[in-house]
Amino acid sequence: MASTIRRPVYGKKPPCSYTGRLEERIIKACATKLEKSRKPEKPEDFICYDDSDDEEDSPVLQQRALKTSFNVVDYIRSREYGLKELRTFNRDYGSRHILAHDMFREHPIALNNMNKVFCSQWLSDRQVVFGTKCNKLMVYDVATEKIDQIPCLYGKRDPSLEIPPGEASSGIHALQINPSRTLLASGAKNSNEIAIYRLPTLDPVCVGQGAHRDWILDICWLDDEFLVSGSRDTKLALWHFEEQEISSDEDNMPSYGTTVPLESRDCKYAQKVRALAFNDKKRELATLSLNGYIHIWDVERFRQKLSRKLPSCQDNVCMAVQENGALYAIGCKSYTLLLDSRTLQAVKKIPSRYSGCGIRSASFQSNILTIGTGVGMIMFYDLKAGKYLESSINSSRTVILKSSRGYVVRKTILFN
C-alpha cells in the first residue's frame, strides 16, 4: 500500500531494519517462484515477466529492503513532517483489499416500475445518474436514498430523420461526462438525438439532432467540447458543444436550443455501431460494430483508418481502452478479448467463469480489468498475474460480486 525508505534517527540503521525481515522476504520469494513454476492446465497466450524473476537478491537490494518500511503510519508521518525520504503510495491497494476481503455489500434500490437501467455514471461521491429503457433520466442520492427524475429534452421536428413512432423512444443507451465534469451528454427523448446538460445543476444546454436515423447506442467525449456519437444506422457523428449561457423564458424556466453535427460519416464495413472508446495516447477512436469488426478512426481528421475482423462476432457489445492506451478490451459472448492497440492482434482471450453469460461491460483500473456479465455478476481479472482476482478469505475461489434479481418488464423485445 505504502513504502517509505527510512533514514536512521539514532545509530546507523532505521527502526525497521532487522534481520528477521530478510527471512520473511526469502520465504515469500520462494513461495512466489513455486507458484509461477506450476504449469497451467492450458498454456497461456500472453505472459508477463517481472524484471527480477530469475535474479537473486544482491547485498545492495537486501540493504534497501531493510531500510524500506511498508507501514502506512511511517508514510503519513514522513509526509506530515516533510522529511526528505523517498515515499511511494499505491492508490489501487484500497480497491484490491476491499475486493479480496469480500467487503463490498449490495444495497438494492427500489425503482418501482422502471424498466432496465441501460447506463449510469457517478455525478459526485454521493449522486449517481442513470438512464433506463423506458426513457427516464434519473438521479439517485446515496446519502438520502432519494430518486429524482430529470426531464428529457426534445429536439425540433424533422420529418426526414424521424423514427417510426413505436421505436422513437427506445431508452437512454449512453451517458457520458466530459473530462472537466461540466457537461453531461445522454440520449434525448427521441433516441436518435443527444441531450446536453450542465453540471452540477443539470440545467438543459441544447439538443443535438440531424445526424442519425436510428438509435444512438454510444457516446464518447474527445475533450471538453467535442463529442462523437455512434448509432445503429452505422453512422458516426462529430459534435461541438460549447458551455453557453442558459436562457430563460417568460416563466423564468430554463430553455435550450438545438444544434447539428460538424460532420457525419458512414462507418465502412460496419453493421450497427455498438461501442466507442477514445484512445487519448494514440489520438484515435476505436469503434465496435455488431458484425464483429473493430474500426479505427483518426480523431484529428475524423477519417476512418482501418477495420479488422474480430475472432468472434457473437454479442460484441462493449469495449474499453487501458489508461496507457496499450490494450483494448472487447466483451464477447463467452470471453473477453484483449487486443494490442498497435496491431489490433488478439493477445489474450479471458474466458468467462460462466459459459455463455454474455459480457456486457468492461473497464480498466490500473492492472485490474472489471468485467460485467449479462447474468448479474461482476468479475475482476488481474492483468499482471494473468488470472482472476482471488479471495483472501477463501483462496479456492475468485472474487465475484453477485447482484440480486431486478425488475424487468416481461413483454419487451431484446434489441442489441
Give tens-digit pLDDT for 30-41: 877 777 666 666
Which residue did the predictor score with more confidence, 197 or 392?
A: 197
Please state which of the ranges 158-167, 192-201, 361-370 shows the lowest mean pLDDT. Answer: 158-167
Give tens-digit pLDDT for 229-279: 999 999 999 999 987 644 555 555 667 889 999 999 999 999 899 999 999
Please state which of the ranges 21-25, 155-159, 218-222 shows the lowest mean pLDDT. Answer: 155-159
Q: Is 405 exposed, middle or buried (CB count within 10 Å of its CB: 0-12, 13-18, 19+)?
A: exposed
Confidence of residue 413 (pLDDT cuts 50, 70, 90): very low
Percent of the chain with pLDDT over 70: 86
Per the prediction, the chain carries an average pLDDT of: 85
Instruction: Using alpha carbons, select from 333, 337, 259, 348 the residue that is nearest to residue 294.
Output: 337
Give tens-digit pLDDT for 93-105: 788 888 888 888 8
Looking at residue 178, its pLDDT comes to 95
Give 12's DSSP letter: S
3-state secondary structure of 93: helix
Q: How far apart are CA 310 and CA 354, in angstroms?
A: 21
Give tens-digit pLDDT for 12-24: 888 777 777 777 7
HSE-up of residue 373 (Cα within 13 Å, Cβ side): 22
Give tens-digit pLDDT for 345-371: 999 999 988 877 889 999 999 889 999
CB 338 within 8 A of CB 327: yes
CB 331 within 8 A of CB 362: yes
| Cβ atoms < 10 Å from Cβ of 369 | 23
Q: What is the mean pLDDT of residues 321-328?
A: 94
CB 286 within 8 A of CB 295: yes
Confidence of residue 203 (pLDDT cuts 50, 70, 90): very high
Tell me whether strands 257-259 and 203-208 are parallel, antiparallel or unpaired: parallel
Give 63's DSSP letter: H
Q: What is the mean pLDDT of residues 110-127?
A: 90
CB 133 within 8 A of CB 116: yes
Confidence of residue 334 (pLDDT cuts 50, 70, 90): confident
Looking at residue 218, its pLDDT comes to 95
Looking at residue 44, its pLDDT comes to 62
Contacts of residue 176, Cβ cutoff 8 Å, sequence gap at least 6: 121, 184, 185, 186, 219, 220, 221, 227
Q: What is the mean pLDDT of residues 139-167?
A: 79
Residue 327: pLDDT over 60: yes
Contacts within 8 Å (CB) and 24+ apart, 364-367: 364/320, 364/321, 364/322, 364/323, 364/327, 364/329, 365/92, 365/95, 366/92, 366/323, 367/92
Domain 94-266 and domain 269-385, same fold? Reply is: yes
Residue-range domain boundaries for the chain: 2-89, 94-266, 269-385
Percent of the chain with pLDDT over 90: 50
Looking at residue 341, its pLDDT comes to 94
Q: How far apart are CA 71 and CA 4, in angstroms?
A: 8
Tell me whether strands 318-321 and 127-132 are parallel, antiparallel or unpaired: unpaired
Contacts of residue 54, Cβ cutoff 8 Å, sequence gap at least 6: none
CATH topology classification for 94-266: Methylamine Dehydrogenase; Chain H (2.130.10)
| Cβ atoms < 10 Å from Cβ of 120 | 14
Looking at residue 88, its pLDDT comes to 82
From the options 3.40.50.720, 2.40.50.140, 2.130.10.10, 3.40.50.620, give the CATH code of 269-385. 2.130.10.10
Instruction: Identify the sign of the CA torsion 403, 135, 258, 157.
Output: positive
Confidence of residue 182 (pLDDT cuts 50, 70, 90): very high
- Letter for the amino acid at 339? L
Q: How far apart are CA 373 and CA 81, in angstroms?
A: 47
Instruction: Using alpha carbons, select from 373, 374, 367, 404 the residue that is nearest to residue 99.
Output: 367
Q: How far apart are CA 129 and CA 292, in angstroms?
A: 30
CA-only gyration radius of the chain, Å: 25
Q: Where are the beta strands (DSSP E) in 247-289?
A: 247-248, 254-255, 257-259, 263-266, 273-279, 284-289
Q: How far apart are CA 141 and CA 127, in angstroms?
A: 5
Residue 416: pLDDT over 80: no
Residue 227: pLDDT over 80: yes
Give tens-digit pLDDT for 299-321: 999 999 999 999 877 888 999 99
Please state which of the ranges 77-86, 199-208, 337-346 shows the lowest mean pLDDT. Answer: 77-86
Which residue did the predictor score with more confidence, 63 or 331?
A: 331
- Residue 295, beta-bridge partner list: 287, 307
Q: What is the mean pLDDT of residues 290-298?
A: 94
